[in-house]
Structure 1
């Protein structure tokens, strides 16, 4: 006689994963990522904020850098009503340090919902945060990676578009150089 547990197919649980890809211009010489679980997935309780800063006691993950705030930022998991997806928001925990998400600066304790892919900057650090969808349960996975090239400099299918600020008019400093040569109509007269 077969046991009921032997006849049921097992449900495979695929948790959400938060990929955190870090870059610092002097990372090779400073070793600030030494306390991070680089290259492996780690489970993190969904009800606890994932804190990143220099204080290993107060933060989930610490950076070995005296210029980083004791508590720099927090990533918070949440769900929308009726949705099975686990989403994330980012909160600036630093009183003095600036944190920006996709070019938008967050003041102390300001929080912003993250898109599936976001470029976060604080100090000289760049952090590419990518949400890999999965089931919203009591925990999610975190995977750290150290990038040799700043995410804002990467191009191609895996990179992030340039993060050069664009004004409300849509003009950016790179617009002139990326569009090719600029033609000028010399017959126009300017009056001042």
Structure 2
């Protein structure tokens, strides 16, 4: 018979960590995040879905916003036979609205695997979820914070005097014409009068 202490996780086991960063354009004047454990790590069992929504009774974490669905989304931990890492999927639990993950839309009850870094959008919210791998197999940790700028702007390349170019590679129409001209070079041997 296996000794129970050999199968249980120890305090030394490194837990997988989900950094969840929130942004809403009106967050400075509304108390949307008052029910979230901001700035502290919370430990969760890997076999229970982590739900986010308006209903504090039905959800693990609640947003104090009447526009948010009672149950907005769920994060589910899972493992695969080919990888020792704890991975996560996201599911849209809202019948009223769509949710997008890195630009891909999810309808009601649709689910997709989360990459190590994912930008989640619903209503006017942006959530950046970053996964750090750990060794523990039965639980994970969540760390939440509020961002002062939208996470979609975190990965943009900014050139002074020009609109930001997002990591999608799309540019605004004012800068698109510059590429057609090619590089502008001067010949140092020319004499200017």
- TM-score normalised by L of structure 1: 0.79
Runs of 4+ in 1 over 6 A off after TM superposition: none
Among residues 136, 160, 166, which one is paired with 1:162 in the alignment?
Answer: 166
The count of corresponding residues between Structure 1 and Structure 2 is 166
Counterparts of 2:50 and 2:153, CA distance in 1: 26
- Residue in 2 aligned with 1:53? 53
Q: 1:12 offset after TM fit, Å?
A: 2.4
Q: 1:84 offset after TM fit, Å?
A: 1.5
Q: 1:177 offset after TM fit, Å?
A: 4.5
State the SS of the aligned residue for 1:26: coil
Counterparts of 2:150 and 2:175, CA distance in 1: 20
Confirm or deny that 1:181 pairs with 2:181.
Answer: no
Decide whether aligned partners of structure 1 residues 11 and 92 sit closer, same or farther in structure 2, where only a CA change above 3 A counts: closer
Decide whether aligned partners of structure 1 residues 143 and 179 sit closer, same or farther in structure 2, where only a CA change above 3 A counts: same
- Residue in 2 aligned with 1:124? 124
State the SS of the aligned residue for 1:64: coil
Alignment check: 8 A CA contact 1:176 1:182 kept: no
The superposition leaves residues 61-112 of structure 1 with CA deviations (integer Å, 9 ceiling, x where unpaired) of 0000000000000000000014221000000000011100000000100000
Alignment check: 8 A CA contact 2:13 2:136 kept: no
State the SS of the aligned residue for 2:74: strand
State the SS of the aligned residue for 1:87: strand
Alignment check: 8 A CA contact 1:16 1:133 kept: yes
- TM-score normalised by L of structure 2: 0.79
State the SS of the aligned residue for 1:152: helix
Alignment check: 8 A CA contact 2:18 2:129 kept: yes
Q: Structure 1 unaligned runs (5+)?
A: 1-9, 167-171, 185-192
Decide whether aligned partners of structure 1 residues 30 and 81 sit closer, same or farther in structure 2, where only a CA change above 3 A counts: same
- Residue in 2 aligned with 1:99? 99
